[in-house]
């Protein structure tokens, strides 16, 4: 079972890395087949700061996936429920953001930024998988 968690987190992480790479390409040498640079960012965070945070997230995802693949613990079992709850809230808020951005608040940049909102959903699913893994595999036992 741990390998399924690892594979799911790894594949979601590769998707997130694709988002990071797409934005990076549009910063360095824009191409027409990708969305314009402003479509990739939903906040006013300076790009160098955003990129550093994104790379830290990519490293964390790789770390989580590797530990899951090895059947190693990630969180203490008592942290599983809070992580699951926070991930569910995160997913819900970003889902609402995405729906509102496509409908009622399409005139507000933060809402009307489907690329960042979609990848926040990806990160929320990774957080949810991490919490579930900690609950199902509390001692990191291999299944």
Q: What was the pLDDT predicted at 141?
A: 52
Q: Is residue 117 part of a domain?
A: yes
Q: Is residue 125 part of a domain?
A: yes
Number of domains in the chain: 1
Q: Is residue 95 part of a domain?
A: yes
User: Between residues 23 and 143, which one has the greater pLDDT?
Assistant: 23
Q: What was the pLDDT predicted at 110?
A: 86
Q: Is residue 143 part of a domain?
A: no
Q: Is residue 142 part of a domain?
A: no
User: Between residues 122 and 37, which one has the greater pLDDT?
Assistant: 122
Give pTM, 2 decimals: 0.90
Task: Give the DSSP per-residue string, the chain.
Answer: -HHHHHHHHHHHHHHHHHHHHHHHHHHHS--TTSPPHHHH--S---HHHHHHHHHHHHHHHHHHHHHHHTT---S-HHHHHHHHHHHHHHHHHHHHHHHHHHTTTTTSTTTT-HHHHHHHHHHHHHHHHHHHHHHHSTT----
Q: Is residue 46 part of a domain?
A: yes
Q: Is residue 141 part of a domain?
A: no
Q: What pLDDT digit, counting tens, does each position of 81-136 carry?
A: 999 999 999 999 999 999 999 899 989 888 989 999 999 999 999 999 999 999 98
The whole domain housing 99 covers 2-136
């Amino acid at each position: 079972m741990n390998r399924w968690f690892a594979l799911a987190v790894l594949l979601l992480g590769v998707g997130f890395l694709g988002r990071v790479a797409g934005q990076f390409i549009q910063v360095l040498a824009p191409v027409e087949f990708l969305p314009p640079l402003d479509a990739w960012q939903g906040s006013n965070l300076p790009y160098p700061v955003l990129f550093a945070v994104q790379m830290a997230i990519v490293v964390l995802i790789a770390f989580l996936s590797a530990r899951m693949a090895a059947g190693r613990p990630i969180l203490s079992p008592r942290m599983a429920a809070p992580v699951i709850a926070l991930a569910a809230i995160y997913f819900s808020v970003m889902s609402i953001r995405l729906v509102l951005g496509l409908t009622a608040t399409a005139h507000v940049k933060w809402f009307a930024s489907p690329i960042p909102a979609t990848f926040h959903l990806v990160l929320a699913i990774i957080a949810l998988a991490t919490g579930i893994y900690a609950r199902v595999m509390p001692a990191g036992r291999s299944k």
